[in-house]
Amino acid sequence: MNLKDKVVGVLMGGMSSEREISLLSGERIASALEKLSYNVKRIYVNEDIVTVLEKSDIDVAFIALHGTFGEDGCIQGVLEILGIPYTGSSVMASALAMDKLKSKELFRLHNIPTPPYYVVRVEDLPRLEEIHGCFGFPVVVKPRREGSSIGVSIVRKMEHLCESVEKAMKWDEDIIVERYIHGREIAVGLLEGRVLGAIEVVTDMEFYDYNAKYLDPKTKYIFPARLSPLQYKCVLTLAEQANRALGCSGATRVDFIVTEGENEYLLEVDSQPGLTERSLLPQIAAGAGYSFEKFAEAILHNSRLHSSANHPMRKKGKLQANEEMYGEFQTIRQKRKILSLK
């Protein structure tokens, strides 16, 4: 299929705390595809996105959304129902990658090293000290389902733990308290499960937080990461395994901490990483030989539907399919009503 004959909708903005980053990613993607002569339509995502998509004439969606409703399976589910092929991971893979608890459970199941952790919920706050027990310090406190280090803090003393957990609860009702691992921050980029390389991040900040990612001019990026050949190969292999464990596809990024003792700890898989000028994945792709335009095109060409792709409804127009599905539901409801009256 020649996508240059199709209308490509770049979905950007959204309703999460990462809206501004999404707008930067989306505009950069749209401009890159336009340079390659694609027919691009910018779609700014808000609460009315379902109605907007139903009325749109787009043939494929390039998802440039981040955070809640953008990379947690929600927009992916909408696109599946509407029959619009899209970039990135499936509904389930997106939801798993966004959920730090479920993803860590899967990493452990697949013997992928990840820092020890426990979960705190609102009802646990009165007995937080008891729950923490001898877990030790320092720890990293993070919302269960957020990105761009939103709501994340490092805590070194018990008296600050409750305050940090309550702060993180502004973003999610479930909080991950994770053992802090001191080491180098390494990120691995993948495209359709194939590793592109690993980059090292050097920052003067306490960790690679939102300011270090998008604002601090002192943040340095070293590609390839300064690891021994054996350890470099190891992080690439672990990244492949983690990506496969969650079922991710498209362009993804896997984040690690590598200690001085040369132990690797997987932090998370980002199924919808940023594509701004400062974002890690485009820098990794550049190191692998991609211009940004060609990288955006490669992501686009892997767009597809993941759920029931061969369902008969996929062969019909969006509105016709929706009307027929609604008619079927009404028929079933009517039959059930008749049976209940007998």
CATH code assigned at 137: 3.30.1490.20
Q: What is the pLDDT of residue 208?
A: 65
Average pLDDT of the segment spanning 281-289: 98
Q: Are residues 153 and 189 in the same domain?
A: no
Looking at the domain assignment, is residue 109 inside a domain? Answer: no
Q: Quote the CA–CA distance of 12 and 9 in Å, as a whole number.
A: 9
Last-in-domain residue among 147, 179, 211: 179
Looking at the domain assignment, is residue 260 inside a domain? Answer: yes
pLDDT over threshold 60, residue 342:
no
Q: What is the pLDDT of residue 316?
A: 44
For the ranges 104-108, 117-121, 147-151, the lowest mean pLDDT is seen at 147-151
Residue pair 78/9 in contact (Cβ under 8 Å)? The answer is no
Q: Are residues 11 and 81 in the same domain?
A: yes
Considering only the C-alpha atoms of the chain, give the largest distance between any 2 of them, rounded to a whole number of Å. 75
Domain harbouring 26, CATH code: 3.40.50.20
Q: Are residues 191 and 246 in the same domain?
A: yes
Last-in-domain residue among 97, 125, 154: 97
Looking at the domain assignment, is residue 106 inside a domain? Answer: no
13, two tokens: 């903005």
Q: Are residues 84 and 11 in the same domain?
A: yes
Q: Are residues 296 and 190 in the same domain?
A: yes
Average pLDDT of the segment spanning 8-15: 95
Q: Are residues 36 and 129 in the same domain?
A: no
- pLDDT band for 327, please (50, 70, 90 cuts): low
Q: What is the pLDDT of residue 261?
A: 83
Residue pair 103/246 in contact (Cβ under 8 Å)? The answer is yes
Answer with the residue of higher pLDDT: 300 or 18: 300
pLDDT over threshold 70, residue 257:
yes
- pLDDT band for 307, please (50, 70, 90 cuts): confident
Residue pair 148/213 in contact (Cβ under 8 Å)? The answer is yes
Q: pLDDT above 70 covers what percent of the chain?
A: 86
Element spanning 206, H or E? none
Q: Are residues 34 and 91 in the same domain?
A: yes
Q: Are residues 194 and 285 in the same domain?
A: yes
Q: What is the pLDDT of residue 84?
A: 96
DSSP-based helix, strand, coil % in the chain, nearest 5: 40, 20, 35
Q: What is the pLDDT of residue 318?
A: 47
25, two tokens: 């990613």
Strand partners, 201: 185, 221
In degrees, rounded to 5, the angle at the alpha carbon of residue 11 between the alpha carbons of residues 5 and 14 is 170
Q: What is the pLDDT of residue 315?
A: 45
Last-in-domain residue among 129, 155, 179: 179
Q: What is the pLDDT of residue 108?
A: 97
- Average pLDDT taken over every residue of the chain: 89
Q: Are residues 175 and 192 in the same domain?
A: no
Q: Are residues 174 and 188 in the same domain?
A: no
Print the domain residue range for 314: 310-342
Q: Are residues 90 and 14 in the same domain?
A: yes
Looking at the domain assignment, is residue 168 inside a domain? Answer: yes
> In angstroms, what CA-CA distances link 316 with 223, 305, 323?
47, 14, 11
252, two tokens: 């993804």
pLDDT over threshold 60, residue 335:
no
- pLDDT band for 150, please (50, 70, 90 cuts): confident
Write the pLDDT tens digit of every residue in 126-147. Answer: 999 999 999 999 999 999 988 7
The total domain count for the chain is: 4
